[in-house]
Amino acid sequence: MHIELRQLTAEQQGEFVHPILTAFGAMANPERLEGTKRLAELSSRIGAYDGESIVGAAGSFSLTMTTPGGGAVPVAGLTMVAVMPTHRRRGILTSLIRRHLDDARAEGRPISSLWATEGTIYGRFGYGLASRACSISIERDRAAFRGEAGAQGRARLLGEEEALEAFAPVWERARPLAPGMLARSKAWWQVRRLKDDDFVRQGGGPLQRVVIEVDGRPEAYAMYCMHHRWDTSQIPVGSVRVIEAIGASPLGTRLIWRYLFDIDLAQRIEASLLPPDHPLGLLVAEPRRLRLTASDGLWVRIVDVEAALAARAYGSSEPLTLEITDSDRPSNAGRFRLHGGERRATRTAQAPDLRLDITALGSAYLGGVSFQALADAGQVEALSEDAIERADRLFRAARAPWCPEIF
């Protein structure tokens, strides 16, 4: 069997998504297919072919991601990876991911990132779990705050075009504040965030788009939908499903969640893809009522060690020497002297302070996983005194990594 990898065009989007739709047992959505063709960010569509039949595929978004300290790094966002069930266990997935990583390096994208459907797949390719995604489900009548927001904002429901104009500036103000957030083009907003999308809503009502203004300036926004249900006594037992809620300031965050918690005809408010340090944990009077649960979020694969380490800020200026192993990409292996104050890493022959593989470095990169936690899990070896403590001071981030959408 000879498998050929081919670069597909936007006009071949229907063929490209065939493996992922088959894997999920889903039907093609013509409107979504047409919209995705407009996304310049979907810069690579690789199909794996057995003769003239597509048997696997992998795409790549060209993204820009916030790093600790408010900087940014070009990222290759691995997406829509699937192999047809007729061609499993034949090395097709391995070929697709290695092609993706080669392309990322050639394009000057020092990081690849993804949301994993099955986490066991990607660890063997050097991806490390870098963030947690949390979900909440709180009864509306138990959603009191410890203290109210302290200022009155004005809430307005918007149409799609109005929402684009109001939401994008709020996002741009919020984006530098948390590692893991992504830059969004106008097309990205239009195609992926603001559409009244049945797949996102999963059977709910129309997508609602609300902005909170303070002194006439947009300070926060949310997208949500209503899932109405009534019990046998005609008491509403439905829910508000929050798709995305973003505040450009702490005040904006408090005001938008107060709005969401006060929506009538809902028994519960539900949201997902929140960071573990979201302010709601301290805002609500009964935190356990949030029923907070966590799952894996972003996975990060370092493609170019020196470029990736230069693209983030550090919490101290202490030097640290890392000995990194990378069985899949030998160009990443070796010893690197990290100078936190200068935001650079250079190859060195000095004795290492820490020994780790590329997977562990990916986990630590955004500041969401500590070196102490990695050491406790046997994924980092300390070779000098206080090496773990120094590494954690260097890589700390003021906020947990947060990516409010799956790409």
pLDDT tens digits for 29-41?
898 899 999 999 9
The mean of the pLDDT values for the chain is: 95
Instruction: Check which CATH number belongs to the domain holding 96 and give it.
Output: 3.40.630.30
82/188 same-domain check: no
267/317 same-domain check: no
Instruction: Check which CATH number belongs to the domain holding 350 and give it.
Output: 3.30.1050.10
Determine the 3-state secondary structure of 253 from DSSP: helix
Structural domain ending residue among the three candidates 252, 283, 314: 283
Q: Is 164 annotated as a binding residue?
A: no
Cα angle at 387 between 381 and 392, to 5 degrees?
A: 100
Determine the 3-state secondary structure of 151 from DSSP: coil
Spatial contact of 130 and 369, defined as CB atoms under 8 Å apart: yes
Structural domain ending residue among the three candidates 64, 85, 109: 109
Q: Give the Cα separation of 374 and 366 in Å (integer).
A: 14
Q: Which residues span the domain enclosing 162?
A: 145-283
149/279 same-domain check: yes
pLDDT at 199 (0 to 100): 47
339/278 same-domain check: no
The answer on pLDDT for 151 being more than 80 is no
pLDDT at 195 (0 to 100): 86
Nearest CA-CA partner of 180 in 114, 244, 120, 125: 114
pLDDT at 228 (0 to 100): 85
Structural domain ending residue among the three candidates 216, 249, 283: 283
Does 126 reside within a domain? no
Let me know if 236 is exposed, middle or buried by CB neighbors in 10 A (0-12, 13-18, 19+): middle
pLDDT at 258 (0 to 100): 96
pLDDT at 230 (0 to 100): 79
Q: Is 191 annotated as a binding residue?
A: no
Residues pairing with 223 in the sheet:
209, 244
What are the CA-CA distances from residue 151 to residues 147, 186, 222, 255 (Å)? 11, 31, 18, 8
Does 124 reside within a domain? no
Q: Is 35 annotated as a binding residue?
A: no
- The stretch 173-195 carries a mean pLDDT of 96
367/244 same-domain check: no
pLDDT at 288 (0 to 100): 97
**pLDDT-derived band at 201, boundaries 50, 70, 90:** low
pLDDT digits (tens, 9 = 90+) for 46-101: 999 999 999 999 999 999 999 999 999 999 999 999 999 999 999 999 999 999 99
Amino acid of residue 98: R
Query: Which tops the pLDDT comparison, 80 or 148?
Result: 80
H or E segment and range at residue 111: strand 111-115
**pLDDT-derived band at 147, boundaries 50, 70, 90:** confident
Q: Is 81 annotated as a binding residue?
A: yes
Catalytic residues: 122, 407
**For residue 86, what are its two tokens?**
């007729």
